[in-house]
Structure 1
Amino acid sequence: MPQHYGQPSCFDKVKFGVMIGFAVGMSSGALFGTYSAFRMGLRGRELLSTVGKIMLQGGGTFGVFMGIGSAIRC
């Protein structure tokens, strides 16, 4: 099993930034998406569909920006 003793590579840092950004964007999308969907009066399947879309959009957007920020810091 290979051991990693040095610093993580720039690609590893960017990948980690994207993953963290995606997780943060998904969680904020869940909070704001649920609130927004309830305010629109959605229930059931429409609620889940709308919240899911908002979560993916938030995760993707924030993940891209965190990846770019991590790449700049390399």
Structure 2
Amino acid sequence: MPVTVRLYRQSQPSCFDRVKMGFMMGCAVGMAAGALVGSLRLGLRGRERLGGVGKTMMQSGGTFGTFMAIGMGIRC
């Protein structure tokens, strides 16, 4: 049986896809770091602590995701 040669190349992701992927990766890393930092706050209990951890996760995830997206945009 003859070997088939593929004539189709795999296309590279577009610049927007790279920026979007950078934001998603940065957001995931930032949220993990926010969970660690937010859980170390002293003096908060129960719902206050849970709300503080969530707020810290969202802030750090958004910030780090934005910077990663900008970095990936520069690289395109």
Shared fold per TM-score greater than 0.5: yes
Question: Where does residue 21 of structure 1 map in the other structure?
Answer: 26
State the TM-score, normalizing by the size of structure 1.
Answer: 0.88
Higher helix share goes to which structure? 1
Residue from 55, 58, 64 that aligns with 1:56: 58
Gaps (5+ residues) in structure 1? Answer: none
Q: Provide structure 2 residue ranges, at least 5 long, that are not aligned to the other structure.
A: 1-8
Q: Based on CA coordinates, which of the two structures has the bigger radius of gyration?
A: 2
Look up the match of 1:44: 46
**Aligned residue type for 1:11:** F
Q: Which runs of 4+ in 1 moved over 3 A?
A: none
Normalised to the residue count of structure 2, the TM-score between the two structures is 0.86
Distance 1:52 1:14 in 2: 25
